[in-house]
Amino acid sequence: MRPPEKTPLPPAAKPRFSNNFDPYNSSATGHQRPETAPGATLGWRDSRARKLAGQFAAGHSGGVRMRDTYGAGSEDYDEKLKMVVPKNVRARATTSVADMLARPGLMRSGSSISDAGSATSTASAVNGDSTNEEAIMEARRREDEEKEEKAAVGRGLFEGVTVYVNGSTHPIISDHKLKRVLVENGARMSIHLGRRQVTHVIVGRPAGVGAGAGGGLASSKLEKEIRKVGGCGVKYVGVEWVLESLKAGTRLSEARFAPLKVAREGQKSVYGMFGKSPSTGPSAGSASR
């Protein structure tokens, strides 16, 4: 008996409004988790923030490939020990007591010895002092060149500012473009709301028709800020603060661009009281008579 023919699968549903779906948020926004098994420290945050900062500063090219400084992706990760072992620690492990007695400055120059390897350590023992001095002079020369390059570039507009993006910045600017602009002008990006390092939080607009695509500040975060020093530790601004500051060429006051009120109920804003000028119309003049 001939088997029944298989019915073809129905085609996938086509998009109704657009052919391309753009979530408008990069993977650097939102809840972050480590790629490897979480350990006792939070070094993966610093490693990811360092790599993202390099990618944002490089532009469309993405910059050079950077290795992790935490976990299995780091350069000094040891597969046997399942941990990061720095180069100076490896050099000390291969150094004996006799070597330390023969060369007292051996432990202080562990980084240069680890690069050369244990095979060249014996050969360089004869003229070790001269090679150490040359390495020190070369390191100082590189530091001076880096300082001169930074001085030539100049300070960015947002130098010393650490920004955390909370929510979506649609429809004004995409968060990826915003982070690129901030990093290019000297700011640092943070992937978590760390009170000790974050200075500004860019709050998105709440979802609405023509208003925003989901932002604002969660009630738990708002209550936490109210209980902490009245919200004075971190400045909450809208994305307009960044764009208007770039347009003006100087860092504007954050009070003009505060999207929310971090204060207890019934407490008025001092900036709002002094910002509004009293009306001097004809009705006010007739009333004074």
**How many CB atoms are located within 10 Å of the residue 166 CB?**
19
* Residues paired with 208 in a beta bridge: 212
Mean pLDDT of the chain: 70
Quickly state the pLDDT bin for 157 (edges 50, 70, 90): confident
Q: Which among 42, 20, 4 is positioned nearest to 196, based on CA atoms?
A: 42
pLDDT reported for residue 78? 77
- Sequence-distant (6+) residues with CB within 8 A of 242 are 158, 178, 181, 182, 202
Domains of the chain (ranges; CATH) run 43-153 (no CATH), 162-265 (3.40.50.10190)
pLDDT at residue 21 tops 50: no
Q: How many CB atoms lie within 10 A of CB 168?
A: 21
Tell me what pLDDT residue 40 has: 59
Backbone torsions φ then ψ of 200, nearest 5 degrees: -135, 140
Strand partners, 202: 165, 237
Confidence bin at 47 (pLDDT 50/70/90)? confident
Residue 28 to residue 178: CA distance in whole angstroms = 12
3-state DSSP: the chain helix, strand, coil percent, rounded to 5?
45, 10, 50
pLDDT tens digit sequence for 85-126? 777 777 777 777 776 677 766 555 544 444 444 444 444 444
The predicted pLDDT at position 118 comes to 44
Lowest mean pLDDT among 12-26, 148-162, 168-182: 12-26
Q: Where are the alpha helices (DSSP H) in 124-217?
A: 128-153, 175-184
Whole-model pTM: value is 0.58
Report d(CA 62, CA 160) in Å as an integer. 23
Q: What's the pLDDT tens digit per position in 178-237?
A: 988 998 898 988 888 777 788 888 887 766 555 555 565 565 665 565 555 444 578 888
Beta-ladder partners of 212: 208
The residue that leads in pLDDT, 101 or 29, is 101
